[in-house]
Structure 1
């Protein structure tokens, strides 16, 4: 396969993965909204935080190092797929080991939920651990599919598995809510079972076919996927095995940093199970905006900056026209995400209670949920600015600077865990969001300092993008006051008529905010209409 073909297939796979993530978020969003009407928030907390953490920890520690090692061989090198498959089957006994160890921790060392509120906790731990081991049965097939760029198999398999899981969960929640955690355990087992089934069915039909022969696929029949020793060669490739061990040592730290909040909640008991459920739902709800709006901007323009600027060279060493374009784009992007973030912050404060009441009813709107979502609205602003500043910084930094910054990121991640623990004892679930805000603030400060130094000796000042127009600030402050007063008067215990009035007030305020944007932020508006919207339309036609 040529380099261009690999690049094309990788780009296609990336696009499919984005679609898969969007579908996963939307279905999870709808599933949570439905289940909240039938089960308690304590049960949701145990499922979404504790049991999901058990599953994700098990599969990550069992397979991540193997995936990275077995997929890292350079194209064209002589690799023995027989040895690679034998090595990949070690994920299964490793998964059994982690399932046993983590199952004991989850059953005997962690606080056990009240069986009246959260029934069947013990069997659910065993079933979630079993689902993780079950998923590892497909690991050799998954690596084969990824290595040979079967770009549609992953998205089809995970889509079918997710739909099956949601269907089973919805039916059982609606007709047998008294089953408690058995409902979600069944859904998880169906999910991993469908994944394995899809990969087995695909390779059962593919192996030995004309298409496999045309592609010179290294396996001939489905039994070749089973482990066995080939004549004249070792059981496994020891070079890949030692590389797996190197990656395995990194897996612990990566997993802790990725799931830091859940580990703090699970092992340190800083939140009740009910508060954990509310926090997880609010976190997913708030992060949808960041993932659907800011993440595509960040990913797309990282590529732009990386192509326009020469990495590791200062402004004087770059082409002036390239630097001018990069500075103008950076300024417009900063202004765009700042305006969007300010709008979300202002209207998120006044409409968090209504949004949660519509989404999850009194379960979410009567407790800590509104305060969490209001805090997350402020966090979205920092996420937006951090995404754009870091995408520029990482595109402009030299390799040595990137390596140094990775150490800074490690220190910030550790400090985030410590801050999460301390602030959560003080402020409950909001403490996690405050820790995130402080972490993002430090990262933004580092990026702004780098950008300031980068353009210091030039005529361009892209950081002006962080200064919205005075008129826009005034309109936003007035809107914040009006919508907050509207919430106090009309929301949310006075019936649908008053809620519609509250929504109408917000609509009028948003109209004036957008009008102020059109009148005062002309450079940004022109950038959006001439650059972003044509790209979006081209991408979706």
Structure 2
């Protein structure tokens, strides 16, 4: 199990490296993209077309991805048994379903979007052609799912790092060059086409890279030849292609993902309904900047946590095997997972405090550099300010969601999603069965309430804070219940175990006061020239105080935490 943890930590480094390099590279080019595209066109692409694409991808592959992570057979040195070969073939068949699902979902999503899109968006040059290319790009990207699932199931994270890294870079370069060429023509009528070609480039590059790295995958399920003893009369037809248990788990997760997708992308849905295209562009650019931290750090951590917990805890409730020192292997893995969750939450809380403290102090100055002049008149500044408070909830929710999706049984998922069976809705549901309904209701009600209170497009960010708070409560209760049930203890850790030391909080409070006083004395916010001695000294002060806070955390809690979760090497 320590080897799994070591491999997971290595995968985190790879994925964070991918996100860091690719995002920093694309960040530089995006500075040029947003200056070449009008807020109106950028709003159509970054809000409406992105929502269209993510809907197709999310509904086609999310549930199947999560289910396959639990059961995909690992590579072994010794020859595979017949059972292992059948399991591998069933997983490979199930991995092809996103391609088959994606085609009808694409047609349905395109028809729905065309019926609801505003005239302002529809009247832009080459709108229909751009939408068609986005649809084709989504299908091409889904064609790489069989290879992606195999690579992640077998722990080949480097394959994904190379494919997606090259795909993101190629997408940004193609989009930038197309926009630059269109601008030099002096017409700027092909902005939507430029972004569409970039999206198609991403799908093609990822597919080609996966095909090269995982060449023996297939895009179509094949019939398996099972012994009569391995078949059941009720599920015989299904077992000839898929493992019935894994198939129904993926169906349950897919049905759950419908509600989860609305909660994840609900802000784009509502902003496209409430705001004009210009403000949609401002909202989109603010979200892209605000989500940089989430993409670079939180997303890789969540994905690797999902892989790690799926591997370590997928059989934690099964028969207990004794290790060499006489301890139960299941108890050891549960303790290791508990320590990992405790350390993850503790680090995320510390990171969140630093982001809120220093982000709120320096964001007003940074916005003047980040945002192009045509976006300063939109809601971008207001949305970015709200994102500072949203990041902590994203951080904490990510790890807990990964643990829940990795360990929840089909019954747990049905309870959370209001499902009594793979295709049925229960008529009598306990209070825990209504969590998904609570998520949706709270999000919509909060968004409307914040809008009426005058928060504008930032209302969607604050509504997401309320939504994530509810999800954090649910997943935290689930996590504590899971460990109490399987470890036979009252709780694996308490609130005091994940909260930072008081000395760290004092260092943060002192930093906030010192920086605020310096800003007031130097009148930094009133300076028009951002590259000046006063401004540079003010930023330097923030860097020094930030390092003091991090050093305080490391000496009071960080070093001990690293020792606690560090893999034991025999």
TM-score by length of 2: 0.67
In the other structure, the counterpart of 2:44 is 46
CA distance in structure 2 between the aligned counterparts of 1:479 and 1:290, rounded to whole angstroms: 28
Within-5 A mapping of 1:338-349: 338=349, 340-349=351-360
Which of 91, 95, 111 is 2:102 aligned to?
Answer: 95
Residues 59 and 132, structure 1, Cα contact 8 Å, conserved in 2: yes
Question: What are the Cα deviations for residues 266-325 of structure 1, in whole angstroms up to 9, with x where unaligned?
Answer: 366123333333333333433333565667888999989x99xxx99xxxxxxxxxxx99
Alignment of 1:140-539 (within 5 A): 140-143=146-149, 145=151, 151-177=157-183, 178=188, 179-202=190-213, 237-238=239-240, 240=242, 244=247, 247-248=250-251, 250-260=253-263, 262-266=265-269, 269-290=273-294, 292=296, 338=349, 340-383=351-394, 410-423=436-449, 425-426=451-452, 427-442=455-470, 462=496, 465=499, 468-469=502-503, 471-472=506-507, 474-479=509-514, 481-482=516-517, 485=520, 489-491=523-525, 494-498=528-532, 500-508=533-541, 511-512=544-545, 515=548, 523-524=556-557, 527=560
Report the CA distance between 1:51 and its aligned residue: 0.9
- Decide whether the 8 Å contact of 2:56 with 2:102 is kept in 1: yes
Name the SS of the counterpart of 2:36 in structure 1: coil
The alignment of Structure 1 onto Structure 2 pairs a total of residues equal to 504
1:30-51 per-residue CA deviation (whole Å, 9 max, x = no partner) reads 3432211111122222212211
Change (3 A) 1:121 1:84: same
Flag the 1:522–1:434 CA change in 2: closer, same or farther, 3 A: same
**Paired residue secondary structure (2:86):** coil
CA distance in 2, matches of 1:152, 1:374: 35
Per-residue Cα deviation, 1:107-157 (whole angstroms, up to 9, x for no partner): 2222243467x4322211111111122334444454555566655433333
- Are 2:136 and 1:130 aligned? yes
| In structure 2, distance between residues paired with 1:483 and 1:45 | 38
Q: Which residue of 2 aligns with 1:61?
A: 59
**Paired residue secondary structure (2:242):** helix
Please state whether the residue corresponding to 2:274 is helix, strand or coil: coil
Per-residue CA deviation, residues 503-526 of structure 1 (Å, 9 max, x unaligned), is: 422433553565577679952466
Q: CA contact under 8 A between 2:92 and 2:146: conserved in structure 1?
A: yes
Change (3 A) 1:463 1:480: farther
Distance in 1 between the 2:304 and 2:67 partners?
28
**Out of 90, 106, 109, which is 2:116 matched to?**
109
Equivalent residue number for residue 211 of structure 1: none
Aligned residues: CA RMSD: 5.6
Query: Could you tell me which of 126, 131, 147 is aligned with 1:120?
Result: 126
Displacement of 1:158 in angstroms is 2.6
Q: Partners of 1:345 and 1:462 in 2: how far apart? A: 21
Cα pair distance change 1:69/1:363, threshold 3 Å = same
Q: 1:379 to 1:83 in 2, by over 3 A?
A: closer
* Superposed displacement of residue 355, structure 1: 1.7
Structure 1 portions without partners, runs of 5+:
208-218, 313-323
Cα gap change, 1:331 to 1:468, in 2 (>3 Å): farther
Q: Output the TM-score relative to the length of structure 1.
A: 0.70
| 8 Å contact kept, 1:346–1:480 | no
Q: SS at the partner of 2:134? A: helix
In structure 1, what is the Cα distance between the partners aligned to 2:410 and 2:211? 42
Shift of 1:63: 4.1
Alignment CA distance shift 1:89-1:365 (3 Å): same
Cα displacement (A) at 1:17: 4.2
Contact 1:61 1:248 in 2 (8 A): no
The CA distance in 1 between the partners of 2:135 and 2:259, in whole Å, is: 19
Q: Which residue of 1 aligns with 2:325?
A: none
The Cα offsets for residues 230-272 of structure 1, whole Å up to 9 and x where unpaired, read as 9999997556286546634542431442353534533661233
Does the C-alpha gap of structure 1 residues 467 and 326 become closer, same or farther in structure 2, counting only changes over 3 Å?
farther
Residue ranges of structure 2 left out of the alignment (5+ in a row): 74-81, 228-235, 318-334, 418-432
User: In the aligned structure 2, how far is the partner of 1:246 from the partner of 1:370?
Assistant: 43
Describe the SS at the equivalent of 2:291: helix
Looking at structure 2, the residues matched to 327 and 334 of structure 1 have their Cα atoms a distance apart, in angstroms, of 11
Moved more, 5-14 or 268-277: 5-14
- Is contact 1:393–1:450 with CA below 8 Å preserved after alignment? yes
The answer to whether the Cα contact below 8 Å between 1:64 and 1:248 also exists between their aligned partners in 2 is no
